[in-house]
Structure 1
Amino acid sequence: MKVITPASTQYYDWQGFRCAYEVQTRRAGVDAGQIPLLLIHPIGVGLSRRFWDRFCQSWFEGQPNSLYLPDLLGCGESALPHVTYTPEDWAAQLQHFLQTVVQQPVVVVVQGALLPVAIALTQLQASPQSNSSNLVRGLILAGPPAWKVMTQATSPWQQKLSWNLFDSPLGNAFYRYARRREFLRSFSTKQLFATADAVDAEWLDELIAGAKDPESRHAVFSFLAGFWRKNYEQAIAYLTQPTLVVIGNTASSISRSGQAETPEQRMADYLKRLPHAQGIQLAGRNVLPYESTTEFVEAIAPFIQSLGSEAEAISK
């Protein structure tokens, strides 16, 4: 039996743009006092907050915490302006979302290469200019990128050259090709999922629906152009929040620089640099909240419960 309260799309304004989100809660309303989760979806053809639908259903089969699911600008039901997007842009959007909508501390769950957005968000929260106390209680990194990918910057001229190529009739034609079911199935099988059988109709249908509006290509092309590619080693070393790193046992990297890295090496690299981290390896590849949903929920629930217990003890 479904235990999720039906959620409708809600909106807030950020810098003149209409941004969409939804809040998922248990019908029984037993989440009072529990730390909510802020779920940051990945960027890609057709991706939006719908990436988390399976996770939400599985989560509420045993966990009480509410879930906040924003659509990042350029994705889903949020505005789709024709601009370049950086992690700092999306982090500023989420900062505003935390301060004006959520208004309480959260555990940030971030998928894959959107980790730079979570890093930028924690930096904004810790800055003297922040208008509130730190609202990021902890971090969960679901399938973070290869360590070399996170520490090798792409030069600004390369980023601009790539963007100009994507932001052209050729790029427009490529996006229309990339949103075809055959391409999405092939890419997902080769790069995202551990097995071809896991690339099911639900996954493909969601991507096709999400990519229907060609204006959604700008966020994807910003990501592909590498505007997020910087050296984050120092920023990661300064993360003070308790962090859980979850990596698939067949995790791979799309980038050439990270292809030689094993999942064990990736885990060791993150745990060595993160000040307050622990790690878990699960069966699966690169989209664990979707392909290994039950196992992912079971892996992160104790970590979130421990953060809640610590917060309760401090408040007494």
Structure 2
Amino acid sequence: MLQPSTTISAHMPASSYTWRNYSCAYDRLAPTDTASGVPLLLIHPIGVGLSRTFWQRFCDEWYRSGQHNLIYNPDLLGCGDSDLPQIAYHPSDWAEQLQSFLQTVIKTPVVLVVQGALLPVAIDLIHLQPDLIRGVVMSGPPARTLIANPTPTWRQQISWNLFNSPLGNGFYRYARRSQFLQSFSIRQLFATADAVDAEWLAMLKEGSRDLASRHAVFSFLAGFWRQDYTVKLAAIAQPSLVVMGGEASSISRKGKAETPDERLQDYLTQLPKGEGVKLPGRNVLPYESTAEFVRAIAPFVQKLETV
């Protein structure tokens, strides 16, 4: 654990705040006219080259579609323009970082929008600061069994030690090559190869330029996020929208292929105020199916403005 700009939105250069003596970057986006409604707090995925820039297409489309909410788009520690210390990152660390962000920068309730397997960060944040979370959008969450059956701590630590070595350094240099990034994206993330465009690859290439960005990625690969969140998930009192890709892919811990419908239903049976929707696409809907994703979540966000 840790120790103590677009033509349709007012996109200022990244701002920063300090958390535990680390500098953490974020964007505060606003429509060109008057902002209104509940702000959005975006939680980007973790992966080679990924940071808050993952959400840029979504932010542009959000305002292009006529929405007026402020958007707060932070870089998690270890990613993007935030500090990149060589430490093992746990979901609770990033949740505490975002709790500080809520308390010191935003200071008002938000709707969380979280991508993929960073869902445990959102779950921890909701339980740390429930009064500042109005609702949550879960985009392409992982198979629920992955956050119900914890990976043993000793195995996580062995994996981290392996990654946090010269071997891991060499692997990261290999993984940030354009050929690997393209192949992985086609195999694991997008529904069609054509969707893995030059903009996506350039974003990953630029985001992985600093080798220190590997520590967050290796923390994710070590499986620190694979804990038992069953009780916390079932205790979420806020309205929750699960957005699943129609071609979402996953393999359960038992090796059984899981259909998108099965995964969606699995979450809805656990969430007290859950609802769900399927969209075209696979595992990175805010990027791959941006317009459809915005249309799907905008009514949910609007309903929360009257709560």
With the shorter chain as reference, the TM-score category is over 0.9
Paired-residue identity, %:
59
1:259–1:174 distance in 2 versus 1, CA, 3 Å: farther
CA–CA separation in structure 1 for the residues paired with 2:133 and 2:254: 31
Query: 3-state DSSP class of the match of 1:246?
Result: strand
Report the alpha carbon displacement of residue 254 of structure 1 after superposing the two structures with TM: 6.3
Aligned equivalent of 1:87: 91
Does the 8 A contact of 2:251 with 2:258 survive in 1?
Answer: no
Aligned equivalent of 1:115, options 112, 119, 140: 119
Aligned equivalent of 2:41: 38
Q: What is the aligned length?
A: 301
Does the 8 A contact of 1:91 with 1:117 survive in 2?
Answer: yes
Structure 2: state its 5+ residue gaps. Answer: 1-5
Aligned equivalent of 1:14, options 9, 12, 19: 19
Does the 8 A contact of 2:248 with 2:282 survive in 1?
Answer: yes
Report the alpha carbon displacement of residue 2 of structure 1 after superposing the two structures with TM: 2.9
Aligned equivalent of 2:280, options 276, 283, 294: 283
1:254–1:193 distance in 2 versus 1, CA, 3 Å: farther
CA–CA separation in structure 1 for the residues paired with 2:249 and 2:8: 34
The TM-score, its normalising length taken from structure 1, stands at: 0.93
Report the alpha carbon displacement of residue 6 of structure 1 after superposing the two structures with TM: 2.5
Aligned equivalent of 1:100: 104
Aligned equivalent of 1:130: none
Query: 3-state DSSP class of the match of 1:137?
Result: strand
Query: 3-state DSSP class of the match of 1:202?
Result: helix
Aligned equivalent of 1:60: 63
Query: 3-state DSSP class of the match of 2:306?
Result: helix
Query: Residue 217 of structure 2 aligns to which amino acid in structure 1?
Result: V
Report the alpha carbon displacement of residue 207 of structure 1 after superposing the two structures with TM: 0.4
Aligned equivalent of 1:5, options 4, 10, 14: 10
The TM-score, its normalising length taken from structure 2, stands at: 0.96
Report the alpha carbon displacement of residue 204 of structure 1 after superposing the two structures with TM: 0.4
Provide Cα deviations, 1:225-253, integer angstroms capped at 9, x if missing partner.
00111111111000001000000000012
Query: Residue 152 of structure 1 aligns to which amino acid in structure 2?
Result: N
Provide Cα deviations, 1:238-277, integer angstroms capped at 9, x if missing partner.
0001000000000012665465110000011000010001
Moved over 3 A (4+): 254-259
Query: 3-state DSSP class of the match of 2:26?
Result: strand
Report the alpha carbon displacement of residue 85 of structure 1 after superposing the two structures with TM: 0.2
Query: Residue 249 of structure 2 aligns to which amino acid in structure 1?
Result: S
